[in-house]
Amino acid sequence: MKKKKLSLNKLFQNNKFLIILSLVISTITWVYMSMGTTNDTSVTISNIPIQIELPDQLVNNGLQVFSDTEQTATVTVTGSRAVLGSISTKDITVTAATNGIDSAGTYQISLSAVKTNPSANFQIISTVTPSNVNVIVDYLRETSFPIQENVVYKVADGYYASTSLASKNITISGPQTEIAKIAKVSASAELDGILDDSTWIRSLNPQTPPPADILLYDKSGNRISTDLLKMEFGTVEASISVLPEKTVKVVPEFMNKPEGLNLGDDMLSVEPSEILLAGPKKVLDNTKSIKLESIDFATLSNKRYEYNDQGINIPTDCKNISNSTAAKVVLDLSSLSKKTYTVDSFKVSGLSSEYKADVTQTNMSVTVIGSKKELENLKSSDIECIIDTSDQSGTVGSVQMPVTFKLKGTSTCWVSGSYKANITISEK
């Protein structure tokens, strides 16, 4: 029997043989490469957190480290491919040398890296990048600041707008030295368009531009970075109320003024004579004038009076948007005359039916102010003293009671001064 000769040509033409040969060569190459590069493989590990720990004495004194960002470092290591494939940032510890820090201040401190597990089968072959970092060591302070509104917008003619913030104050914490720099906290925004609605409210937040950003300034007006600071909030909601305007007259108010006394321009002046109000349309439509604090004619004589700070009474829900918050009233009564009368006519009013009153005072001298002609025609019998006892319910015995006056035959004169009469009250 003849043996068949093995032919190389036929062998390399066999697909199964070629496949097996390729696998064998690949395996040999992989084993060779793996064995040949075991100690030469290296990788760079990034974003390793930097651990900064102060000495216990400084921590006990209240000092701590402040940084504007989370500080990280980069380290290169070497080892077998199999080991390096599973290494992460947790396997390397980067620390800062803080042993030279003894007080508050800004420091540049060096970094070093070690294996978290000393027995791990890899080596650190490069210095830490960066080699050092800057840190601030200081006391933590927390302070509340008032917020100044700085929302800029345009308002249509005939309207007035005012802004109110959802929060009037903000709490800010951080290094003591940075907190001390803050001189002003501002809520700033700039709105487009022209406002003319009766009430316009806009939520100012990052989703509704422009936001009312919280901005910090020092005493020189320079912006302060917030990188080292923690603020209670970064934006604030602002409400903008838009109200119509109206100019109204300023009118003085009087008590006990004679009905017929006409105060012309030569006797009375008010400054300002008008003010500008802003308020709901319904309120403004019903407001023709505003009144000042009342002046009691019973306290006035024939003299010239100046009231430099008369309060202006503003209607509810309205705002006085004029520069003047008070008015000056000049009341010149010097052209009038004065005359004293002896009055003996008394009337008791307001007394309960269970009591009776006897006026023990037979007469009273009173001063009357008016024109010379009116005073010449006025008689003592035209003046009646009215004693009001309504506030003395239950009181018995001799008392002094305030007196008001009723004048007959004149509507332009008045009694000047404060008067009391003696009466005796008893049960019936």
Q: 337-427 — its CATH code? A: 2.170.120.30
Q: Which CATH number fits domain 244-332: 2.170.120.40, 2.40.50.140, 3.10.105.10, 2.60.40.1180?
A: 2.170.120.40
* Cα separation, 401 vs 25, whole angstroms: 129
Cβ-count burial of 366 within 10 angstroms (0-12 exposed, 13-18 middle, 19+ buried)? buried
Average pLDDT score over the chain: 86
Quick one: pLDDT at residue 19?
64
Taking phi over 0 as left and psi of -120 to 50 as alpha, with beta for the rest, 320 belongs to beta
Q: Where are the chain's structural domains?
A: 42-130, 156-236, 244-332, 337-427
Determine which helix (DSSP H) or strand (DSSP E) holds 377, and give its type and residue range.
helix 372-377
What is the residue type of 388? Answer: D
Residue 1 has pLDDT above 70, yes or no: no
* Cα separation, 350 vs 392, whole angstroms: 9
Residues of the chain with pLDDT > 90, as a percent, come to 53
- What single string gives the DSSP state of each residue in 183-236? -EEEEEEEEEEEE-SSSEEE--BTTBSSP-EEEEE-TTS-B---TT-EES-SB-
* Cα separation, 238 vs 230, whole angstroms: 22
Contact, 291 vs 254, CB < 8 A? no
Residue 189 has pLDDT above 50, yes or no: yes
Residues of the chain with pLDDT > 70, as a percent, come to 87
Quick one: pLDDT at residue 29?
57
Residues 303-329, mean pLDDT to the nearest whole number:
90
Tell me the CA distances in angstroms from 256 to 340, 411, 414, one per residue in order. 19, 11, 8
* Cα separation, 352 vs 344, whole angstroms: 24
> Which range has the worst mean pLDDT, 183-187, 363-367, 392-396?
392-396
Neighbours of 291 (CB within 10 A): 15
Pairing of strands 238-255, 289-296: parallel
pTM of the model: 0.60
Quick one: pLDDT at residue 190?
86
Residues 289-300, mean pLDDT to the nearest whole number:
93
Quick one: pLDDT at residue 175?
95
Same-fold call for 42-130 versus 244-332: yes
27 — phi, psi (to 5°)? -65, -45
Residue 3 has pLDDT above 60, yes or no: no
Confidence of residue 426 (pLDDT cuts 50, 70, 90): confident
Residue 395 has pLDDT above 90, yes or no: no
Contact, 375 vs 368, CB < 8 A? yes
Residue 203 has pLDDT above 60, yes or no: no
- What single string gives the DSSP state of each residue in 12-37? HT-HHHHHHHHHHHHHHHHHHHHHHT
Contact, 75 vs 48, CB < 8 A? yes
Q: Which CATH number fits domain 42-130: 2.170.120, 1.10.10, 1.10.3470, 3.30.930?
A: 2.170.120
pLDDT digits (tens, 9 = 90+) for 36-92: 444 568 899 999 999 998 988 888 889 999 887 778 999 999 988 888 888 899 999
* Cα separation, 338 vs 365, whole angstroms: 13
Residues 100-107, mean pLDDT to the nearest whole number:
89
Confidence of residue 206 (pLDDT cuts 50, 70, 90): very low
Quick one: pLDDT at residue 207?
45
Strand, helix or coil at 389?
A: coil
- What single string gives the DSSP state of each residue in 102-130? -SSEEEEEEEEEEESSTT-SEEE-S--BS
DSSP tag of 376: H
Quick one: pLDDT at residue 261?
93
Contact, 196 vs 242, CB < 8 A? yes
Confidence of residue 210 (pLDDT cuts 50, 70, 90): low
Q: Which residue has the higher pLDDT, 32 or 197?
A: 197
